[in-house]
A and B are shown apart, each in its own frame.
Chain A
Amino acid sequence: MSSIPDAIVNQDEKFLADNAKRRKRLSLWFYFLCVAIALISVVILVVLMVSIWSQGQSRLSTDLLTRAHSELEIERSGMWPAILGSLFVCGTCAVVALPLGVGTAVFLEEFQPTNKLLRWIHGFVQLNISNLAGVPSIVYGLLGLTVFVYMFNVFGQIRVNESAGMEIMGYKHFYQVLTLEPGHVVFVPQSDPTKRQTTFDEPFRAVDPDGNPIEISIWTPGTPKPSDPAIRRQTVRAGAIGGTITERNWYYFRLPFDKSFLSGGLTLALVILPIIIISSQESLRGVPSSLREASMGLGATTWQTVRDVCLPAALPGIMTGSILAMGRAIGEAAPILVVMGAAVAKSSGPKHLMDDAVTMPVLIFNWAGRQQDEFKELSAAAIIVLLVILLLLNSTAIYIRHHVQKAQS
């Protein structure tokens, strides 16, 4: 017969009672510690919101929402171009990242591999996506800078007034030349785009700023100068130099993309692609397999099952994930800063595909880093606007989640 352990035979009542009391007290203290620390995150959020509100609320005005950044009139600087810019950049990002991300998720979840090689590739792609999610966004920024902005310099580097890269469509080059009437210019369509400058010595055809074709005559210095303004507008001094000016349509397209909102949007798409893939995968995984089996049993092909059964069932989850990812994209500054530069002097939204843009986070970064107190307050006000936009996005996501959860259960 096994002997009873010593500790059970000779029980020290006092020790046991003390021990139990000590352990219970420790547990209680730990509970209070937990509550206190859990409260810290609430405190942090409150301090964050209150400090930014108190700093920025005095600058919340219509000027902030309707005007552009201005070095001269700091008081009346605004963020309208930045709002437009964020809209364009994130729009591009959504158009590229959503189909690509959902497509990848569908491929990984619904088309399970059948042989060993395919299964290996499948696992590799999966691991790769998890790793991409961990790559710092600034590295994506450098990728965008190298691939979209410079394109490894394959198409030449874009320089102001020297080289416009390889233009593909939507552009018209003109030589711009001054007439004798001060401040009046006429435009001459360019035939050889590599010649950035030309001199005029004989009469030529041109268009005036309204687009009407006119004949231009030449005035040689030394001969009497025409005095009628109408004639002066059609006369050019001999040897006048015309520099290139380019009229761009909205679909203007060139390679490389340079520091355009298109580069920025594409780069952001790379940043949020892993997030979209992972969240879409999770919501596809949540679709009960009985639905799939029923569809297959009725004779539907895999794609028909995906299109008509799985995707509709997973749609709320995919939408929630995508909206959260877009929230991340709107707030993301580092890759945009690297790709599009830190300049904020733009006074309007993008005009054509290759136009540059300012986004809200970059503007906030620029303002926050300045010495003047006005800019610091403006920065806080811009943060409030940005946070309100994010809040709207997130509550949409939460609404979709709750609403659909209720409907499905």
Chain B
Amino acid sequence: MALPKSLQNREFRSTRSGAFSERLIVISLALCATATVLITVGIIYMLITQSAGFFRSEAVTMSGFLTDTEWTALQSKDLAQAKFGILPLLSGTFRVTLIAMIIALPLGLITAIYLSEFASAKIRSWLKPTLEIIAGVPTVVLGYFAILVISPSLQLISEGAFSTFNATSAGIAVGILCLPMVCSLSEDAMRAVPRSLREGAYGLGCTPFETSVKVVVPAALSGIISAFLLAFSRAIGETMVVALAAGTLPTMTLDPTQQAQTMTGFIVEMIKSESEYGTVQYYSLYAVAVTLFTITFLMTLGGQIIRRRFKESYQ
């Protein structure tokens, strides 16, 4: 049998340059991946070095920062009178977040159950894009919606008990923002539950309600909880809605009708005030950011770990 022509007169090229360029490309791609690690390192380095400028100051103590119930970094230009206690900002953040979660978690979860268990293909093809559009609405638009529609309606319903800027209207808008996220993540988790489980439940005589609540939801629980945690951290880090609708007064109360400056809201106000670079008040920005970053980081990490660790795998 005759050999193919290319094998008869072998003129092989050297692969050395090819191997070299291959290696070069791998290295440059690895450098791209390193850049993402650099971003994390950069965030942590930035937060530590800059907030050191805050904690080094004599007007600030660590225990005061964590336990004082007043935060007047913006109001008092005089350092001696400024009070730096993170609790009012934390309380504002958690008030807004709590209201957001009361809105987003049940609505998101039930919409997800509807989408994965009941909805026909036609309804799905309408509902999914609707949720995607809500998810794609810029947050500043939802903030505007909060002051344009939600806050006046609340005032109307309660006959003026709510102040113009209040924690509830911001919380509702943040809840709307988190709803599509909770919904799509939990729906993914529920769709991953195999058909056989549902068929088993129906075969034993369960109603659709019992199948979805007692079989599908528990089977998808790890995914649902991680969705909740991610939504929680998203709500804590949400900025534009609270900057527009939650007010600018740090308050330490549980009253949802009052103003509530959150951590992110404070950062925006501080930037807007164009405070002098290098003052203790300016560096307090970074101390707030450290708190914010720590909380959201732990939440996201927790969500990741729950999803990986407790992931039910069905063969």
Contact = CB atoms under 8 A, between A and B. Distances in A.
Interface of A: 23-24, 26-27, 30-31, 33-35, 37-38, 40-42, 44-45, 47-48, 51-52, 55, 99-100, 103-104, 106-108, 111, 124-125, 127-143, 146-147, 150, 152, 157, 270, 273-274, 277, 301-303, 324, 327-328, 330-334, 337-338, 341-342, 361, 364-365, 368-369, 376, 379-380, 383, 386-387, 390, 394, 398
B285 interface: yes
B38 to A, nearest CB: 10
Contact of A125 (B25, B37, B49, B238): B37
5 contacts: A132-B39, A302-B26, A361-B240, A365-B243, A383-B141
Contacts, number: 247
Contact of B148 (A31, A52, A394): A52
B257 interface: no
A137 B237 contact: yes
A135 B111 contact: no
Given A37-B107, A302-B26, A341-B274, 4 more contacts: A38-B114, A139-B292, A142-B285, A394-B136
A21 to B, nearest CB: 11
A365 B303 CA distance: 32
B32 A380 contact: no
Contacts of B30: 107, 111
Contacts of B137: 48, 331, 387, 390
A134 B267 CA distance: 18
Q: Which of A26, A137, A327, A334 has the most CB of B within 10 A?
A: A334
Given A38-B115, A139-B43, A142-B285, A338 B22 contact: no
Contacts of A35: 114, 118
B140 A368 contact: yes
B119 interface: yes
A24 B207 contact: yes
B144 to A, nearest CB: 5
B131 A41 contact: yes
B140 A331 contact: yes
B227 interface: no
Q: Which of B28, B39, B129, B237 has the most CB of A within 10 A?
A: B39
Nearest to A47: B149
B32 A103 contact: yes
Contacts of A152: 49
B138 A333 contact: yes
B148 A51 contact: yes
A26 B46 contact: no
Nearest to A361: B140
Q: Specify the main secondary structure of chain A where it touches its partner.
A: helix
Contacts of A376: 148
B289 A147 contact: no
Contacts of A140: 43
Contacts of B37: 124-125, 128
Q: Which of A23, A103, A324, A387 has the most CB of B within 10 A?
A: A103
A353 to B, nearest CB: 21
A361 B144 CA distance: 11
B127 interface: yes
A5 to B, nearest CB: 15
Interface in B255-296: 264, 267-268, 271-272, 274, 277, 285-286, 289, 292-293, 296
A134 B114 contact: no
B136 A327 contact: yes
A103 B31 CA distance: 9
A253 B264 CA distance: 32
A64 to B, nearest CB: 16
A131 B137 CA distance: 23
B179 interface: yes
A303 B30 CA distance: 13
Nearest to B295: A136
B50 interface: yes
Contacts of A330: 138
B96 to A, nearest CB: 13
A387 B142 CA distance: 12
B239 interface: yes
Interface of B: 18, 22, 25-26, 28-30, 32-33, 35-37, 39-40, 42-43, 46-47, 49-50, 106-107, 110-111, 113-115, 118-119, 123, 127, 129-134, 136-145, 147-149, 176, 179-180, 183, 207-210, 212-213, 230, 233-234, 236-240, 243-244, 264, 267-268, 271-272, 274, 277, 285-286, 289, 292-293, 296-297, 299-301, 303-304
A104 B36 contact: yes
A372 B240 CA distance: 20
A118 to B, nearest CB: 10
A273 B37 CA distance: 12
Contact of B207 (A27, A40, A324): A27
Contacts of B134: 41, 44-45
Contacts of B301: 131
A334 B28 CA distance: 32
B210 A23 contact: yes
Nearest to B144: A368
A135 to B, nearest CB: 7
Contacts of B213: 30
A238 to B, nearest CB: 39
Contacts of B285: 142
B279 to A, nearest CB: 14
Nearest to A157: B277
Contact of A136 (B129, B142, B296): B296
Given A23-B207, A100-B32, A146 B144 contact: no
Contacts of B18: 301
A302 B29 CA distance: 13
B32 A342 contact: no
B286 A142 contact: yes
B236 A136 contact: yes
A313 B30 CA distance: 22
A199 B25 CA distance: 57
B177 to A, nearest CB: 11
Nearest to B26: A111
A282 B303 CA distance: 19
Contacts of A131: 40, 297, 300-301, 304
Contacts of A41: 107, 111, 127, 130-131, 134, 179-180, 183
A336 to B, nearest CB: 10
